Amino acid sequence: MPSALVFFTELADAPSKAQRELLTLAASIGEPTVAVASEVSQATAEQLASYGVAKLLVAPANHASFLEHSLSVLEAAVKQSTADVVLVANDNFNREVAARIAVRVEGSIITDAINVSADLVVTKDELAGSYSAQAQATGGVLFVTLKPNSIEDAPQSAAAEVSINELATETSAAEKVRIVGTEEKVVSDRPKLTEARVVVAGGRGVNGDFGAVEQLADALGGAVGASRAATDAGWISHDAQIGQTGVTVSPQVFISAGISGAIQQKAGMQTSKCIIAINKDVDAPVFEIADFGIVGDLAKVLPQAAEEIRRRQA
Ligand X SMILES: Cc1cc2nc3c(=O)[nH]c(=O)nc-3n(C[C@H](O)[C@H](O)[C@H](O)COP(=O)(O)OP(=O)(O)OC[C@H]3O[C@@H](n4cnc5c(N)ncnc54)[C@H](O)[C@@H]3O)c2cc1C
For binding to ligand X (CB under 6 A), which residues are involved? 203-205, 227-230, 241-246, 258-260, 262, 264-265, 268, 278-281, 284, 297-299
Tell the smallest beta-carbon distance from residue 294 to ligand X (Å).
9
Tell the smallest beta-carbon distance from residue 173 to ligand X (Å).
39
Q: Which DSSP string do the residues of 135-163 spell out, in sequence order?
A: E---SSPEEEEE-TTSS-----SS----E
Per-residue b/e over 46-85, b at no fewer than 16 CB within 10 Å?
ebbbbbbbebbbbbebeebbbbbbbbbbbbbbbebbebbb
Q: Residue type at 132?
A: S
Tell the smallest beta-carbon distance from residue 292 to ligand X (Å).
15
Is the Cβ of residue 61 or residue 262 nearer to ligand X in the bound state?
A: 262
- The tally of CA atoms less than 13 A away on the side-chain side of residue 263 is 2
Is the Cβ of residue 181 or residue 234 nearer to ligand X in the bound state?
A: 234
Is the Cβ of residue 39 or residue 281 nearer to ligand X in the bound state?
A: 281
Closest C-alpha among 79, 124, 310, 145 to residue 215 = 310
Is the Cβ of residue 108 or residue 265 nearer to ligand X in the bound state?
A: 265
Tell the smallest beta-carbon distance from residue 231 to ligand X (Å).
8
Tell the smallest beta-carbon distance from residue 258 to ligand X (Å).
4
Is the Cβ of residue 11 or residue 213 nearer to ligand X in the bound state?
A: 213
Q: Which DSSP string do the residues of 48-90 spell out, in sequence order?
A: HHTTT--EEEE----SB-HHHHHHHHHHHHHHHH--SEEEEE-
